[in-house]
Amino acid sequence: MLSAILLSATVLAVSIIDPARATPISTSTNQTLAWTNCTSVPDGPYPQHFRCAKLEVPLYYENPASDKIKLTLVKIPATNTAKRIGTWIFQEGGPGTSTAHDLPSIDGTEGFRELQTYFDVLAVDPRGVGVNFPVCFSPELLTSGARGKFRNYPKTEGEWKATLEYWGEVGEDCLNRTGPIFHTLSSATAARDLESARVALGEGGINYYGLSWGIQRGQMYAQYYPKNIRTMVLDGVVDHSIQMADFSAAQQIGHGFSAANFFNWASTNSSSALYGQDAAKIMDDLVAKADQTPIPVPNVNTTTTFPNVTGEDIRQAFLDGFWHEYNWPAVATWIAESAQGNVTGFAMPVFTETSLNSPAIACSDWLTNETYAQFPDRERMAASFSSGNFEGGTGMRAWATYCSKWPIPVVNPPARSEIANTSAPILLVNALWDPATPYDFAVNIQRQIPGSVLLTRKGNGHGSLFPWGGEAGDAMSQYFVSGKPPPAGTVVYS
Ligand SMILES: *[C@@H]1O[C@H](CO)[C@@H](O)[C@H](O)[C@H]1NC(C)=O
Ligand SMILES: *[C@@H]1O[C@H](CO)[C@@H](O)[C@H](O)[C@H]1NC(C)=O
Ligand SMILES: *[C@@H]1O[C@H](CO)[C@@H](O)[C@H](O)[C@H]1NC(C)=O
Ligand SMILES: *[C@@H]1O[C@H](CO)[C@@H](O)[C@H](O)[C@H]1NC(C)=O
Ligand SMILES: *[C@@H]1O[C@H](CO)[C@@H](O)[C@H](O)[C@H]1NC(C)=O
Ligand SMILES: *[C@@H]1O[C@H](CO)[C@@H](O)[C@H](O)[C@H]1NC(C)=O
Ligand SMILES: *[C@@H]1O[C@H](CO)[C@@H](O)[C@H](O)[C@H]1NC(C)=O
Ligand SMILES: *[C@@H]1O[C@H](CO)[C@@H](O)[C@H](O)[C@H]1NC(C)=O
Ligand SMILES: *[C@@H]1O[C@H](CO)[C@@H](O)[C@H](O)[C@H]1NC(C)=O
């Protein structure tokens, strides 16, 4: 089992205590939130029963006298006032996924409905994301990049260097377009914004559900405000205590296990479009072909979609698609259709100004100083965990090149968690074969947070709450309502 390698790397990590990070900064502003219809929110309209408010916060918490900015909060009021416990804050991952945008699609869905009787559901998009000052890129720069200026899978030192330079230029362009908010995108600032929201709500401790990158904001919150927690679930556990290169290597191993499970399922499950065939080989051949010559997308609308797909597009779309097990049938269909020449399933949407905010946030929370000498080792390891041309693509391997020449220094660098004496036990949740946040991350973070409990789901996929209905979702719901986590060591199967 390769977890031994990962754990020895993390055990050696030295805790770096940055005084600015360790000191809680007061967020008390005594403001009253004025809830109104969500008519003025970007990308509206929201359903009539949604409520929106503006929350005033300092641009820089380190300097409370700095300019004030107004964050938009989006809320679905609890459906049963008599049963209402408080506010449940939902933080999606990405980084860069907007919870505010996703709220309408989960409102009233089966499973979620019960939790909605007890809680107002609140989206606080972090700065740089969704309804809160989304960071801004040049679509032209991104388009030219995706077609040759950078490679997610560089093969030579020249390609590797060009990729680093390209992302440095993208970062500088984004800084110029976005303005001072660009300096405040880290999970540490996001945690302070959450506390400002909690204080303004005028309720008790926070009820927090963080998914993937959202768990980093939760962890920073728990570190700064350990006594202000009623319940907190961290689902799909990102390990911010290890360096980016180690993170990326671990992610590639998790990805390899999970992809093997997918290809096995795709070849042997009669509901799969690849049933009875060698799914991994079909994928390999497809990627090799697209690497050679991009494959044209049939009947394409070039206003919305790139006209052809490259091998990198296929690796990336596969990655985004198969992270969730409920998507496996669709991904098998994309591969089967692509093998027949219809690559629509893997076609890449064209870029807009705000379609790529992940690097701006990722590079505020992680530094990458990997040298080219270290890079091929990681590549070889990735290759050994995946079939031929597929190369175990992961999100983090791309970020390892995004952040190297980022225009601003990392604000909230990786460090061991300093969470202690929380007012409630934190519940960590992870699938055993999670391709994005391997199980070892959850084990490592559980050891770093005294009193926390790890719930294991023996299954595939990233995150265990959606789609609701499984045992893991039930256990989380019960914890949010009662405040009591499941017993340590609990394993669920759905
Ligand atoms: C908030 O109100 C309290 C009590 O009235 C007061 O002591 C405190 O200074 C106020 N804080 C701010 C930031 O206005
Ligand atoms: C705001 O919402 C309420 C209740 O849903 C509705 O009656 C009212 O017409 C809405 N106002 C506007 C300006 O949309
Ligand atoms: C960003 O702005 C600075 C200062 O105005 C300028 O020198 C630089 O060329 C700009 N960078 C990009 C990538 O547009
Ligand atoms: C086949 O896959 C479907 C969809 O993922 C799943 O519901 C079903 O349980 C699988 N069947 C077997 C025999 O594993
Ligand atoms: C692929 O699309 C690009 C535009 O994004 C175009 O320049 C190129 O010629 C196309 N290549 C093939 C082989 O169709
Ligand atoms: C292509 O997509 C754009 C944007 O959604 C739309 O306005 C346009 O009508 C579409 N063109 C065709 C030919 O469907
Ligand atoms: C091509 O693939 C897409 C995505 O899987 C699918 O929706 C579409 O129906 C396919 N087109 C044809 C002509 O089969
Ligand atoms: C990268 O940064 C980490 C943390 O500061 C440090 O331990 C490591 O030695 C650095 N690596 C290189 C190659 O500079
Ligand atoms: C946690 O509580 C213990 C016991 O009261 C105390 O010794 C310790 O200093 C506290 N740790 C922190 C980080 O506050």
In angstroms, the CA 324 to CA 306 distance is 24
454: exposed, middle or buried (Cβ count in 10 Å: 0-12, 13-18, 19+): buried
Within 8 A by CB and 6+ apart from 235, the residues are 209, 210, 211, 212, 215, 428, 429, 430, 463, 464, 465, 476
Q: Which atom of ligand 2 is nearest to the CA of 37?
A: 1
Closest ligand relative to 417 C-alpha: 9
Q: Quick one: tokens of 4?
A: 């031994």
Q: Is the CB of 269 under 6 A from ligand 4?
A: yes
Q: Please choose from 36, 37, 51 the residue to mutate so as to test ligand 2's pocket, defined by most ligand atoms within 8 A of CB.
A: 37
Q: Which atom of ligand 5 is nearest to the CA of 143?
A: 5
Neighbours of 159 (CB within 10 A): 14
* Contact of 223 with 421, CB cutoff 8 Å: no
Q: Is the CB of 421 under 6 A from ligand 9?
A: yes
For ligand 7, the distance from its centroid to the CA atom of residue 319, given in whole angstroms, is: 19
Ligand 5-lining residues (CB < 6 angstroms): 147, 293-294, 296, 306-308
pLDDT on residue 387: 58
In angstroms, the CA 240 to CA 5 distance is 17
pLDDT on residue 6: 26
Ligand 2-lining residues (CB < 6 angstroms): 37, 39, 48-49
In angstroms, the CA 383 to CA 251 distance is 13
| Residue 490 DSSP label | -
For ligand 2, the distance from its centroid to the CA atom of residue 124, given in whole angstroms, is: 22
Give exposure, 115-124, as e/b (b: 16+ Cβ within 10 Å): bbebbbbbbb
Fold of domain 3-123+185-241+416-492: Rossmann fold (3.40.50)
Q: Is the CB of 352 under 6 A from ligand 6?
A: no
Whose alpha carbon is nearest atom 3 of ligand 3? 176
Closest ligand relative to 415 C-alpha: 8
pLDDT on residue 466: 80
Q: Quick one: tokens of 303?
A: 């206003």
Q: Is the CB of 302 under 6 A from ligand 6?
A: no
CA neighbor of 77 nearest in space, from 44, 107, 111, 33: 107
CA distances from 5 to 2, 247, 397 (A): 6, 12, 18
Closest ligand relative to 174 C-alpha: 3
For ligand 1, the distance from its centroid to the CA atom of residue 217, given in whole angstroms, is: 26
* Contact of 112 with 236, CB cutoff 8 Å: no
Whose alpha carbon is nearest atom 3 of ligand 2? 48
Phi, psi for 68 (deg, rounded to 5): -100, 145
In angstroms, the CA 296 to CA 56 distance is 48
Neighbours of 79 (CB within 10 A): 18
Q: Looking at beta carbons, which pairs linking 171-176 to residues 24 or more positions away fall under 8 Å?
A: 171/359, 171/360, 171/363, 171/402, 171/405, 171/406, 171/407, 171/408, 172/407, 173/137, 173/138, 173/141, 174/135, 174/136, 174/137, 174/360, 175/407, 175/408
Q: Which atom of ligand 6 is nearest to the CA of 301?
A: 1
Which amino acid, residue 195? E
Residues of each domain in the chain carrying CATH 3.40.50.1820? 3-123+185-241+416-492
Q: Residue-wise pLDDT tens for the chain (494 aa)?
A: 222 222 222 222 222 333 344 455 555 567 899 999 998 777 668 999 999 999 999 999 999 889 999 999 999 999 999 999 999 999 999 889 999 999 999 999 987 899 999 999 999 999 999 999 999 999 999 988 888 777 777 778 888 899 999 999 999 999 999 999 999 999 999 999 999 999 999 999 999 999 999 999 999 999 999 999 999 999 999 999 998 878 887 888 888 888 889 999 999 999 999 999 999 999 999 999 999 999 999 999 999 999 999 988 898 888 888 888 899 999 999 999 999 999 999 999 999 888 888 889 999 998 877 788 777 666 666 666 665 556 655 556 677 788 889 999 998 999 999 999 999 999 999 999 998 899 999 999 999 999 999 999 999 999 999 876 799 999 999 999 999 999 999 999 99
Q: Is the CB of 262 under 6 A from ligand 4?
A: no
For ligand 2, the distance from its centroid to the CA atom of residue 235, given in whole angstroms, is: 36
Phi, psi for 301 (deg, rounded to 5): -100, 105
Q: Which atom of ligand 7 is nearest to the CA of 330?
A: 5
In angstroms, the CA 471 to CA 17 distance is 38
Q: Which atom of ligand 9 is nearest to the CA of 420?
A: 13
Q: Is the CB of 15 under 6 A from ligand 8?
A: no
For ligand 9, the distance from its centroid to the CA atom of residue 439, given in whole angstroms, is: 29
Q: Which atom of ligand 2 is nearest to the CA of 39?
A: 14
Q: Which atom of ligand 3 is nearest to the CA of 176?
A: 1
- Between helices 244-268 and 439-448, what is the axis angle to 10°? 140
In angstroms, the CA 326 to CA 99 distance is 20
Closest ligand relative to 407 C-alpha: 3
Neighbours of 353 (CB within 10 A): 14
Whole-structure pTM value: 0.89
For ligand 6, the distance from its centroid to the CA atom of residue 392, given in whole angstroms, is: 34
Closest ligand relative to 274 C-alpha: 4
Q: Which DSSP string do the residues of 360-378 spell out, in sequence order?
A: HHHHHH------TTTHHHH
For ligand 5, the distance from its centroid to the CA atom of residue 151, given in whole angstroms, is: 16
